[in-house]
Amino acid sequence: MQSPLESLEQWDDFVGSRYQEGRTEENFRDYSTAPAGVREFYRLNHTHQTREFARAKKQEYGSLNRRQMSIWEGLEYLDTLVDDSDPDTDLSQIEHNLQTAEALRRDGQPRWMILTGLIHDLGKVLWLYGEPQWAVVGDTFPVGCAWSQRIVFSEFFRDNPDAAVPEYQTRHGVYEPNCGLSKTDMSWGHDEYLYQITRDYLPEPAQYIIRYHSFYPQHRENAYTHLMDSKDHEMFEWVKKFNPYDLYSKGHAKPDAKALRPYYEELISEFFPDKVRF
């Protein structure tokens, strides 16, 4: 069973429940109430996300020759992703992205950050290409070095083939201490893919938000500080600032995509050309 999650959103919801506002540090790491599908999802993710896999996918998708679309077309394409869940209570992909963006806009955040909110999950189109759930979503982590025990369900790494590679099992693994995250390979998913697509068009803080928004082991758990350089530390302030908008903007009213489209089309055109390579 390669699709244990009811929908990709189930992973987002699980992360949101883990880091619910008001919960203590301690119960951030209490996963006892995780649904069986979520548990199985992490088992697959931790078993199959090897260094070799992550590098091969980065190579494969990094050529950006899948399709050419405008950013808004990309959002509509992502919206064709149909969940099994109840359409009346759940938000479509476009609505989640718009809610994040609208929350940033209400708070008067910079325009590039509002745009980042709008597109941050666009990399989930990987699912439409037929990638398994465990290679699209999930908390991300560096590959090629020891897995932190602060990664959710870290016990599932025992079946990862990299566990048998001694070179990958030291604290720094194949990396130099504080080499900077750009020199590391992260587990493969929607973050890295969208970073590859958008890197030429957005300011650096936006690139960091997109590339590391699922890197909970660092931006929430500080488990990989030993691989970060001073630039990473500076930029992670933005990643941390963004995270609550991703996690907690859900409760708000359903955004009206049609009414909001002109505003966002204009914002998109400030940064992106008409067609972008995916």
**Interaction site with Fe ion (CB under 5 A):** 121, 246
Dihedral class, residue 178 (left if φ above 0, else alpha if ψ from -120 to 50, else beta)? left
Instruction: Provide, rounded to whole angstroms, the least separation between the CB of residue 176 and Fe ion.
Output: 29
CB 174 within 8 A of CB 167: yes
Between 168 and 212, whose beta carbon lies closer to Fe ion?
212
CA dihedral (143, 169, 132, 39) in degrees, to 10, reads -120
CB neighbourhood size of 84 (10 A): 11
Between 168 and 187, whose beta carbon lies closer to Fe ion?
187
Instruction: Provide, rounded to whole angstroms, the least separation between the CB of residue 190 and Fe ion.
Output: 6
Instruction: Provide, rounded to whole angstroms, the least separation between the CB of residue 56 and Fe ion.
Output: 22
Instruction: Provide, rounded to whole angstroms, the least separation between the CB of residue 191 and Fe ion.
Output: 7
Between 121 and 185, whose beta carbon lies closer to Fe ion?
121
Spell out where 26-180 has E strands: 68-69, 142-143
- For 232, the token pair is 């990473």
Between 40 and 121, whose beta carbon lies closer to Fe ion?
121
State how far the Cα of 134 lies from the Cα of 114, in Å rounded to an integer: 28
Instruction: Provide, rounded to whole angstroms, the least separation between the CB of residue 163 and Fe ion.
Output: 27
Calculate Rg over the CA atoms of the chain: 18
Between 224 and 245, whose beta carbon lies closer to Fe ion?
245
